[in-house]
Amino acid sequence: MQNIVFGILTGSTLAVATVGFALVRQTEGFVNIAHGQYLALGAFLGLFFMESWGVSVFLAGFLAVVAVAVLGVVVARLVFDPVRERGALVLFFSSIGLAYALYGINQVVFDPAVRAYPVNFGKNIDLGSASITVGELVVIGIAAASVILLHVFLTRTTLGTWVRAVAANPELAEVRGVRVRLTSGVVWFIGAGLAALAGVLIGVLGTVHSEIGWANILMILAAAVVGGLGNIYGVIAAGLLLGLAMDLSTLVIPTEYRLTVAFAAIIITLLLRPEGLFTVARRKEEVA
């Protein structure tokens, strides 16, 4: 039972990290490896705001999310837009270069030593054979709220409709009057912001350290592949599932192999259902 609690915690933060990654992948058309470094930057900035400005963890997290979200838009304009016409591979390798650049900047600007958010998680709430702290409940709540807000944004707002239209067919969307450039900016803002939010949540739950971005991009990729790269809700479910699978796996296999579960999930998914577990594309094709 306790491992289920841990799995939900791991899965909820992974879902937040992956959904922003998938959103960018869908609308911008490439795999952004720098997403992990946006996550790291969010974690570092949140801690910086707390320690240097003395603000609460909630305000520090909010400021970190906004800062990284704005940075995501600026970097997209400066780094990705100029090479957009050269195709997805060039964008992909540009994102790797950007990831290394951000990694280096993080190392220089922030203290790379292991540090923790100065937060108190409060009392343990007894769940029978398991327990959860108040702080952990808040983390799960914030993760759930961010995903729900994203859903509302995508389905109930004009900008959200534009995002879905660009994701489906950018040329057609432009012909139909969708402001593609504005939409792209919104997607980068949300994607980088969600990465930063995940970074703050992961930092609060664990620690902030220099490798946090690289460590998480692998998990994000795993969740994205399992969920189906083109399916935002699929990757949310996959993030939760992977988190649960990794933490429950420790009941039957040594804990040091937990990450192996994520990679096994990638391999099995690519072999058996390469479009992802939750995508409906093939089913639609089969019906047609």
Residue 244 CA to residue 7 CA, distance in Å, equals 4
Contact residues: another protein, CB under 8 A: 2-3, 6, 9-10, 25-27, 29-31, 33, 88-89, 92, 96, 100, 103, 113-114, 116, 121, 123-124, 133, 135-136, 154, 163-164, 167-169, 202, 205-207, 209, 211, 214-219, 221, 225, 228-233, 247, 250, 254-256, 258-259, 266, 270, 274-275, 279, 281
Pick 179 or 209: Cβ nearer another protein: 209
Pick 41 or 221: Cβ nearer another protein: 221
Residue 245 CA to residue 72 CA, distance in Å, equals 31
Q: How many CB atoms sit inside 10 A of residue 155's CB?
A: 10
**Contacts (Cβ under 8 Å, ≥6 apart) of 266:** 221, 222, 225, 226
> Minimum CB separation from another protein for residue 135, in Å?
7
Q: How many CB atoms sit inside 10 A of residue 117's CB?
A: 20
Pick 31 or 142: Cβ nearer another protein: 31
> Minimum CB separation from another protein for residue 33, in Å?
6
Pick 70 or 121: Cβ nearer another protein: 121
> Minimum CB separation from another protein for residue 83, in Å?
15
> Minimum CB separation from another protein for residue 12, in Å?
12
Residue 121: closest CA among 203, 7, 205, 63 = 205
> Minimum CB separation from another protein for residue 164, in Å?
5
> Minimum CB separation from another protein for residue 250, in Å?
4
Pick 82 or 97: Cβ nearer another protein: 97
Pick 148 or 281: Cβ nearer another protein: 281
